[in-house]
Structure 1
Amino acid sequence: MRLLFLAHRLPWPPDKGERIRAFHFLRHLATRFAVTVTAPCDEGDVAAARAALEDLGCRVVTARLGTLRRTLRIARALAGGEPVSLRVFRDPHITRALRRADRFDLAFAVSTAAAELLPAPTRLPLVLDMVDVDSAKWEELAARSRDPLRRAVLRREAELVRAAEREWARRARRVLFAAERERDLFAAREPDLAARARTVSNGVDLAHFDPAHPRPDPCGPRTVPRLLFVGRMDYPPNVEAAVRLARSILPRLLAAGSEVELHIVGAAPTLAVRRLAGGRVRVWGRVADTRPFLAHADAVAVPLAVARGIQNKLLEAMAMGRPVVASPQAAEGLPPAVRAGLRVAEDDDGFAAALLRLLTHPEEARSLGLRARALAKAHLGWERALSRLDAVLDEALAELRSAAPPPTPAARWPAR
C-alpha cells in the first residue's frame, strides 16, 4: 500500500518533541508501506534531512518555509479569520506537487497543521495523529495572560484551532492522541467523534538514553550540585518555567543553604531566558547532545504551568535514571504506572522542598533515579507505542476494506 505521510516540519533530526514522535512513527511505517513524506522545512539542513528520510526508503516532497512566506501567511490568516498556528504551514508548492504525485491509499498526518497540506477536495482516507488537544493549550495561555490584547489574540486562536480540530477529526477515520487525558478531553468536547479517538503514547529510545554509557562532563570540574532544565527556549511554557526556576525556586534553595547551580539547556533562548544567566544560573542554548547534561545532573526540574500530552523531557530524564521533580501539569500525561518514578510538586515552595530533599540525600535521589529507569524500560519503550500504532492502523484499514465495494481504485488527487 502507498501511504502519504504529512508533517508540518520535516521529522529530521529527531531532536525535539514534534519531530521525535513523527520520526519514530515514520521509520516504523516505512517498514509496512511505500511512503511519501511531505512537509515544509523552516530550519536546519534540508539536504541532510531529505537524505536521512530517503535512507528509510521514503520519497520526500518538501519546500523551504522562509521568513517572507511565513510572514505573508500569518498576515493572510489574520485577515481571513483563520488559525495562524495551522495556516502558516500550508504550502501551495507542496499541495501542487502532491496533486501531480502517484496515487495513495491512505494519508497519515502527524498534526492538525500537517493535515492542512492535503489538497482539497479529496476522498483519500485519513488517519490524524492530533497528538494533543492543541486548542486547550491556547485556552490555557489566554487564561494566564495579563495583557488584554495578547489575551484576545490567544482566545481567537483557541477558538479557530478548536474549529479546525473538529473539522479534521470529522474527515479522519481515526484520531490519535499521545495521552489518555488528551483523548478523554477530546471525547468530552466532541462526543459525536469520540468513537474515532485512540491513544498511542509517546516512547523513548532506551538504548540512546542509557545511563550505563559513560559520558564526559560538559560543565567541567564539579564543585556544587547541579539542577537541570531542558527544553526549546523560545516556547512560551518553557520560557515561563525557566524564569520560574531561576527567579523563584532557585532563591529558595539557596536560602535553605544549598549551593546548587541551575543549568538551562535548549535551543533558541529568548531574551528573557538569556537575561537569567549569571551567578548560579548558566544558560547554554543549543547543544549537540543533551545526554551528557542529563548524566551529570543531580536533579531535573520540570515546573511547567502549561503542558499538553506527554513531555519528552520527562521521558528522557527518567530513561537516563535522573531524579525528577515535575509539576502536576507536566506529570499528568504520563501513564499512571510511571508517575511513581518521579516527585510531583504543586508550587514553588513544594518544588524547593522536593529538590532540596534530593540534593541533600543522594542515596534517596539515586534510588528514585533507578526506579525511574526501571519504569521507563517497563512502560516507555517505542516498541510498545508502535505495536499500538499498528493495531490502530489495522483497525482503520479493516474498516476501509469492509466499507468499500470491491474492486475500489486507490484515491487520486482531483484535477482542477
Structure 2
Amino acid sequence: MTKPDLLFLVHRIPYPPNKGDKIRSFNLLKHLSKNYNIHLGCFVDDPFDLQYIEKLNRWCQSCHVIKQNKWLAKLVGLTGFITNKPITLPYYYSASMQAWVNKVQQQHDIDNVLVYSSSMAQYVEQPKYSALNRIIDFVDIDSDKWRQYARKNTGIKRWFYQREATLLQRYEQDICHAFTKSLFVSEDEAKAFRQLMPKAAEHKIQSLLNGVDTDFFKPDSQLTAVEATLPEQFIVFTGAMDYWANIDAVLWFTKQVWPKLKAQYPKLQFIIVGGNPSAEIKNVAKNQSIIVTGRVVDVRPYIQHALFAVAPMLIARGIQNKVLEAMSMNKAVICSTMAMEGINAPTDAGAKVADTAEDFFNACLAELEQPSIQSSRQWILNHFTWPNTLKKLDELFAHGVNK
C-alpha cells in the first residue's frame, strides 16, 4: 500500500537528536515516517550538523535543507522592525524554502502538514493552504520565554524582548486560530496557552508529551567518557551551553550554590556538559573544581557516574529533556520548579525541587550526605516513553482532510 505524503517543516535540522528541540522533532519524524512519505524542510544553523544531511534520507522521501548564517539571519530579523513583525519570522524566512514548499505541496497534492515551532508556520499560513490539515507543534509558549528575558533585563534590552514577546504572542494566537490543531509539550503548557485564547478555540489546543529513548538512556555502569577520565566525585549539568536559559541556570548555580557546596565537600567537582559553551561559561571553568566539556560524543557516561544531576532553571518553558534523561538513567535530580514543570514527578520518584539558593544548597547537601534510593526510571517508563506519547499524533493525522 502506498503511503500518503506529509509535509514537515522544522526550524532546525532534526538530526542528530542531541539537544532539546531536536530530540522531539527527530522522534516526531521517525514516528511519522512509518506511515507517511515525509517531505522535510529545515534549516541548519550549526556547521557541525552539515555532515548529517544525507542521513535524513532514511526517514524522508525528499528534503530541502538550507544552511543558515546566524549573523546574516540576525540582520534580516531586524527587518521585523520595519514590517511590525516579530523578528523570529524574518530570521527564519527564506524565499527558497517558500518556493520549495509551494512546489512540493502541488506536486504531491499533500493534505497533511506538521509545522514544528511558530517560526515555520509562515510557509503555510497563506489562504491557499487553509483547506489543509495543518497541525502546529508549538512545543512551548515561545513568546513567554521572551517575556521572561525581558523581566531579567533593563533598558533597551527589556524593551526589545518585551516587543518580541508581544508580537510573537499575537502571531501564535493567529496561527492557533487558523490551523487545525496546536500542540504543546505538556498539559501545563497547553493549559497556559488556553488562557491566552478565547473559549471557542480551546478545543484546538492539546498536549503531546515528550518521551525518552529508555533503551538508550538506561543505567549502565560500564559507560566511559571518550573525551576524558571522569573525576571520582562530581555532580552534573547537561544542555546546550549556547542557550541562554542553560547559561543563566549554570551561572546562578556556580555563584549562589557551588561555593558553599564545595566548602563542605572539597573533593567534589561540577561538570557542565554541552556543546558551544559561551564565553561566560568558559570563564566559569577557571575555577579548578568546575569542568566545562564542550561538545561530547555521548552524554550518558557523565550522567551515569555523577552523584546526581542538577537543573536549576530560572528561565524555562515546556519540558526539560535533561531531567527526563537523568531520571531515565535512575539518577537523582535536584531541580527548580520550572525544570520540573510538565514532568510533575513526586519526590519519592527521585526528583527534589528547590528554588532559593539556600533550599537548593540544602537539597544538594542532603543528597551528598545520604544518597536517596532511586525509582526515577520507573516513573519515566510509566509516563514518558515515545511509543506511548506519540499515539495521539497518529490520531491527529489519521483522517487527513476532505477536498
TM bracket (short chain): over 0.9
Number of residues of Structure 1 aligned to a counterpart in Structure 2? 392
Distance change (3 Å), C-alpha of 1:46 and 1:312: closer
The alpha carbon displacement at 1:45 in A equals: 5.2
Partner of 2:24: 21
Equivalent position amino acid for 2:112 in 1: L
The alpha carbon displacement at 1:119 in A equals: 6.7
| Residue from 109, 116, 124 that aligns with 2:122 | 116
The alpha carbon displacement at 1:249 in A equals: 0.6
Partner of 2:100: 97
- SS across alignment from 2:136: strand
Which residues of 2 match residues 388-407 of structure 1 at below 5 A?
Answer: 388-394=392-398, 397=399, 400=401, 404=402
| Residue from 385, 388, 406 that aligns with 2:389 | 385
Equivalent position amino acid for 1:120 in 2: Q
The alpha carbon displacement at 1:136 in A equals: 1.3
The alpha carbon displacement at 1:313 in A equals: 0.5
Whether 1:329 and 2:338 are equivalent positions in the alignment is: yes
Whether 1:343 and 2:360 are equivalent positions in the alignment is: no
- SS across alignment from 1:283: strand
Partner of 1:30: 33
Quick one: distance in 2 between partners of 1:336 and 1:212?
23
What TM-score comes out, normalization by structure 2 length? Answer: 0.92
The alpha carbon displacement at 1:226 in A equals: 0.5
Does the aligned pair in 2 maintain the 1:206–1:381 contact within 8 Å? yes
Quick one: distance in 2 between partners of 1:326 and 1:344?
5
| Residue from 68, 71, 74 that aligns with 1:65 | 68
| Residue from 282, 287, 300 that aligns with 1:291 | 300
Distance change (3 Å), C-alpha of 1:238 and 1:67: closer
Whether 1:150 and 2:154 are equivalent positions in the alignment is: no
Quick one: distance in 2 between partners of 1:98 and 1:53?
18
| Residue from 171, 177, 181 that aligns with 1:170 | 177
| Residue from 52, 55, 58 that aligns with 1:52 | 55
- SS across alignment from 1:100: helix
Equivalent position amino acid for 1:73 in 2: V
| Residue from 268, 279, 283 that aligns with 1:275 | 283
RMSD: 1.9
Quick one: distance in 1 between partners of 2:99 and 2:127?
13
Partner of 1:107: 113
Which residues of 2 match residues 200-215 of structure 1 at below 5 A?
Answer: 200-212=208-220, 214-215=222-223
- SS across alignment from 2:123: coil
Quick one: distance in 1 between partners of 2:186 and 2:308?
25
- SS across alignment from 2:229: coil
Gaps of 5+ in 2: none
Quick one: distance in 1 between partners of 2:383 and 2:70?
41
Does the aligned pair in 2 maintain the 1:325–1:345 contact within 8 Å? yes
Partner of 1:227: 235
Quick one: distance in 2 between partners of 1:243 and 1:68?
25
Does the aligned pair in 1 maintain the 2:331–2:350 contact within 8 Å? no
Quick one: distance in 2 between partners of 1:388 and 1:148?
44
Identity of aligned residues (%): 28
1:391-411 per-position Cα deviation (integer Å, ceiling 9, x unaligned): 3333xx36x4xxx4xxx3xxx
What TM-score comes out, normalization by structure 1 length? Answer: 0.89
Partner of 2:46: 43
Equivalent position amino acid for 1:162 in 2: Q
Whether 1:160 and 2:181 are equivalent positions in the alignment is: no
Does the aligned pair in 2 maintain the 1:169–1:175 contact within 8 Å? yes
For structure 1, which segment, 182-191 or 115-124, has the greater mean C-alpha deviation from structure 2 after superposition? 115-124
Whether 1:309 and 2:318 are equivalent positions in the alignment is: yes
Distance change (3 Å), C-alpha of 1:62 and 1:388: same
The alpha carbon displacement at 1:254 in A equals: 2.3
1:313-361 per-position Cα deviation (integer Å, ceiling 9, x unaligned): 0011111111100000110221456983301112111111111111122
- SS across alignment from 1:58: strand
Does the aligned pair in 1 maintain the 2:236–2:303 contact within 8 Å? yes
- SS across alignment from 1:189: coil
Does the aligned pair in 2 maintain the 1:128–1:175 contact within 8 Å? yes
Does the aligned pair in 2 maintain the 1:198–1:392 contact within 8 Å? no
- SS across alignment from 2:195: helix
Quick one: distance in 2 between partners of 1:98 and 1:276?
44
- SS across alignment from 1:282: strand
Does the aligned pair in 2 maintain the 1:98–1:119 contact within 8 Å? no
1:142-184 per-position Cα deviation (integer Å, ceiling 9, x unaligned): 1122x21111101000001101101111111111110111100
Does the aligned pair in 2 maintain the 1:338–1:376 contact within 8 Å? no
Gaps of 5+ in 1: 409-416
The alpha carbon displacement at 1:11 in A equals: 0.5
Partner of 1:411: none
